[in-house]
A and B are shown apart, each in its own frame.
Chain A
Amino acid sequence: MNFKNLREYLSWLYYQYLLITGIYVLEPWEKSIFNSILFSAIAMVIYTSYVFVPIHVRLALEFFSKIIGSQPESTVALMN
């Protein structure tokens, strides 16, 4: 497919999206329901990952560094 500009390319992509999901055959109000549900779900996924992923990563790092870092000390303690 040859496209003259970005707009045409984007409209073709949207058409493919309509065809593959099958919402091409739906009525406009059903299309908007589907789109809003899908996009809000995606938005939520992105938002939650933005909010929670850094915290989880930090906690995980702390946890693992504690295990790796504290192990020699504790064995020494046991020996005594």
Chain B
Amino acid sequence: MTSQYISWVTPNLDIYSRGRPTKMTESSSNKLLNGDSCHWTSNGKKSSKNGFVKSHGLFQEPQKYRRPREKNQNVTHNSSLYKKPFAESFEETPLLVAVLTYMGYGILTIFGYLRDFLRHWSIEKCHVAREKEEQKDFVPLYQDFENFYTRNLYMRIRDNWNRPICSVPGAKMDLVERVSHDYNWTFEHTGRVVKDVINMGSYNYLGFAENIGACANAAIEATEKYGVGVGSTRCEIGSLDIHEELEQLVARFLGVESSMAFGMGFATNSMNIPALTGKGCLILSDELNHASLVLGARLSGSTIRVFKHNNMQSLEKLLRDAIAHGQPRTHRPWKKILIVVEGIYSMEGSIVRLPEVVALKKRYKAYLYLDEAHSIGALGPNGRGVVDYFGLDPKDVDIMMGTFTKSFGAAGGYIGGKQELIDYLRRHSHSALYATSMSPPVVQQIITSMRIIMGEDGTTLGIDRIRQLSENTTYFRRELREMGFIIYGNEDSPVVPMMLYMPAKIGAFGREMLKRNIGTVVVGFPATPIIESRARFCISAAHTREMLDTALKATSEVGDLLQLKYSRRERPLPSLGWMAEESLLQD
């Protein structure tokens, strides 16, 4: 049995930063009174063009004291910037469900304390790390909430995560069967395999995770020609001709001057942001940015300020503050202001309001770093990511970052942009200087899949996959919504988060779905806020309509069993009138 282990998203690895990464050095928000910002109105060329003559900023503040039933995402504020409707919804948590969820966590916490008490007095065996006898009087190491949560809540439903896979993670996959005899503290493999589980968890948007076909054949050829390891870094003797070829292809694919590829997607973010900004620079980061972006921002030593998720008023306020007040204490202007956003946010399924971000970026002369980890390949009529989706110019985005891990079925990441940027990064980025260069078969897989997406192989296979993905996404989202589940995010996002809320339902949903031969990813704290636990489906172009129907039927069954159909909106959804399937196909 060739076992290829792929770990699913675990809640305590895929940590999102919800809070502010660093404490804001100065809360200047109160200082910007209306009087301070008068001179901005004189600069009102653009705002008058957009019809916002009276507002000081580019985007109007929303009315205060208005509490809509849904968070305001469904309304497009600056519709003139969008070419087509931008439909995104985050239905409010029903009050009763929220109360019951907190109650559930309360009960589990009480039992957690009981178990901790028993462990402390050695009445039961402690399976996890604890202080040594001689360290007892030192500062406690395992007392914070994360540790408590892992010990007493996560451990109880741990069988839903890190499940080993023993086949290619395509539309269907085989799982290694495992059992636990001590309530998930240890697992034992039974030696059996759970066959043909429908895979609703892998980020296999375009279905390029295959072990047969053009990509796999090309990768085998590359292995025969170059071997697997390169054994050096790019700037020493690890630069192969196919690396060059890949970078030129990526630049052409993105429509930028130049690009650069890295062996690891996470390191692309966490090592390149420190190369771009430093002390005296300001990073404006979305509150739901991925851990890699947060880590990169922290490593850079710049000041970090966090704006509300996809909230342009919040971003504009921070930009205006930053320009009006400059650096804290010295009040010197910031050296650089970098806005860091993602294309698709993988936990919310939302798409960045890129046209508005670009407008703000241009107005306030900031730089824009766009992480297209989930959106490249998965969005846009040509699969070229969120820039293509909104029909914008790639040159408006200063730093285009993305991964090859998801849509291309390979590994690694890239950065695209102006020639000077890439030249600078080649000399200054840690992951260019110190990391071993990409493995040739992986590079070949990316080249072949990217050529297919671009249609350079002479077939329409790539465009068919993109169309299939968009069709599947629309179908799956619409069906789930009509069944009465609460679904988050944008209508066009292939990441479909479905709300579960209660802690016991996280475990029950994963287990019940697997009983029906469907593999899903369930997510809880700390990847989400504590009450907003969810299941996340990732739609793939490889899913056939039958597979989706099977999955939907099982989801509906489990939804009835667990009472997950929380949605209180009228069905069928009236606001979806504009979204005929045909119009979506043409995009």
Q: Which residues of A approach B to under 8 Å, CB–CB?
A: 1, 12, 15-16, 18-27, 30, 34
Evaluate contact between A25 and B108: CB separation under 8 angstroms. Answer: yes
Tell me which of A16, A22, A24, A30 contacts B563 (CB under 8 A).
A16
Complex Cα–Cα for A31 and B420 (A): 64
Evaluate contact between A25 and B503: CB separation under 8 angstroms. Answer: yes
- Stretch of B13-21, B77-85, B99-107 contacting A (4+ beta carbons < 8 Å): B99-107
Q: Is B552 an interface residue (CB 8 A)?
A: no
Complex Cα–Cα for A9 and B59 (A): 54
Query: Which B residue's beta carbon lies closest to that of A27?
Result: B183
Least Cβ distance of B555 to chain A in Å?
A: 15
Evaluate contact between A19 and B502: CB separation under 8 angstroms. Answer: yes
9 inter-chain pairs at a CB distance below 8 angstroms, sorted by A residue, are A16-B563, A19-B508, A20-B100, A20-B104, A20-B502, A22-B108, A22-B504, A25-B156, A30-B114
Q: Which residues of B approach A to under 8 Å, CB–CB?
A: 100, 103-105, 107-108, 111, 114, 153, 156-157, 183, 502-505, 507-508, 560-563
Least Cβ distance of B222 to chain A in Å?
A: 47
Evaluate contact between A19 and B183: CB separation under 8 angstroms. Answer: no
Evaluate contact between A19 and B505: CB separation under 8 angstroms. Answer: yes
Residues in chain A near residue B103, CB distance under 8 A: 20-22
Tell me which of B107, B153, B561, B563 contacts A23 (CB under 8 A).
B107
- Give chain B's interface secondary structure class: helix
Complex Cα–Cα for A7 and B561 (A): 15
**Which of B114, B156, B503, B504 counts the most chain A CB atoms within 10 A?**
B504
Complex Cα–Cα for A67 and B310 (A): 66
Residues in chain B near residue A27, CB distance under 8 A: 183
Residues in chain A near residue B153, CB distance under 8 A: 25
Tell me which of A21, A23, A25 contacts B157 (CB under 8 A).
A25
Least Cβ distance of A38 to chain B in Å?
A: 10
Complex Cα–Cα for A26 and B505 (A): 13
Complex Cα–Cα for A70 and B504 (A): 60
Question: With A1-B560, A34-B107, A34-B111 in contact, is A23–B504 under 8 Å at CB?
Answer: yes
Query: Which A residue's beta carbon lies closest to that of B104?
Result: A22
Given contacts A21-B107, A22-B105, 12 further A-B contacts (CB under 8 A): A1-B560, A16-B563, A19-B508, A21-B103, A22-B103, A22-B108, A22-B502, A23-B107, A23-B504, A25-B156, A26-B108, A26-B156
Least Cβ distance of B170 to chain A in Å?
A: 32
Smallest CB-CB A-B distances: 6 pairs: A22-B104, A24-B504, A25-B156, A22-B504, A19-B504, A22-B108
Query: Which B residue's beta carbon lies closest to that of A23?
Result: B107
Residues in chain A near residue B183, CB distance under 8 A: 27
Residues in chain B near residue A34, CB distance under 8 A: 107, 111
Complex Cα–Cα for A24 and B103 (A): 14
Question: With A24-B504, A25-B504 in contact, is A30–B111 under 8 Å at CB?
Answer: yes
Residues in chain B near residue A15, CB distance under 8 A: 561
Complex Cα–Cα for A73 and B57 (A): 78
Residues in chain B near residue A16, CB distance under 8 A: 563
**Which of A1, A19, A21, A22 counts the most chain B CB atoms within 10 A?**
A22
Residues in chain A near residue B560, CB distance under 8 A: 1
Residues in chain A near residue B563, CB distance under 8 A: 16, 19
Evaluate contact between A21 and B104: CB separation under 8 angstroms. Answer: yes
Complex Cα–Cα for A30 and B561 (A): 24
Residues in chain B near residue A22, CB distance under 8 A: 103-105, 107-108, 502-504
Residues in chain A near residue B508, CB distance under 8 A: 19, 24
Query: Which B residue's beta carbon lies closest to that of A28?
Result: B183
Query: Which A residue's beta carbon lies closest to that of B506?
Result: A25
Residues in chain A near residue B105, CB distance under 8 A: 22
Query: Which A residue's beta carbon lies closest to that of B110?
Result: A34
Query: Which B residue's beta carbon lies closest to that of A25?
Result: B156
Residues in chain A near residue B156, CB distance under 8 A: 25-26
Complex Cα–Cα for A1 and B561 (A): 8
**Which of A19, A20, A21, A26 counts the most chain B CB atoms within 10 A?**
A19
Residues in chain B near residue A12, CB distance under 8 A: 561
Query: Which B residue's beta carbon lies closest to that of A15?
Result: B561
Least Cβ distance of A18 to chain B in Å?
A: 7
Complex Cα–Cα for A19 and B108 (A): 12
**Which of A1, A16, A23, A25 counts the most chain B CB atoms within 10 A?**
A25
Least Cβ distance of B324 to chain A in Å?
A: 48
Residues in chain B near residue A20, CB distance under 8 A: 100, 103-104, 502, 504
Complex Cα–Cα for A65 and B504 (A): 53
Query: Which B residue's beta carbon lies closest to that of A20?
Result: B100
Complex Cα–Cα for A25 and B157 (A): 7
Least Cβ distance of B151 to chain A in Å?
A: 13
Complex Cα–Cα for A26 and B563 (A): 20
Least Cβ distance of B161 to chain A in Å?
A: 14
Least Cβ distance of A32 to chain B in Å?
A: 12
Complex Cα–Cα for A12 and B561 (A): 8
Residues in chain A near residue B503, CB distance under 8 A: 22, 25
Least Cβ distance of B450 to chain A in Å?
A: 44
Complex Cα–Cα for A65 and B502 (A): 51
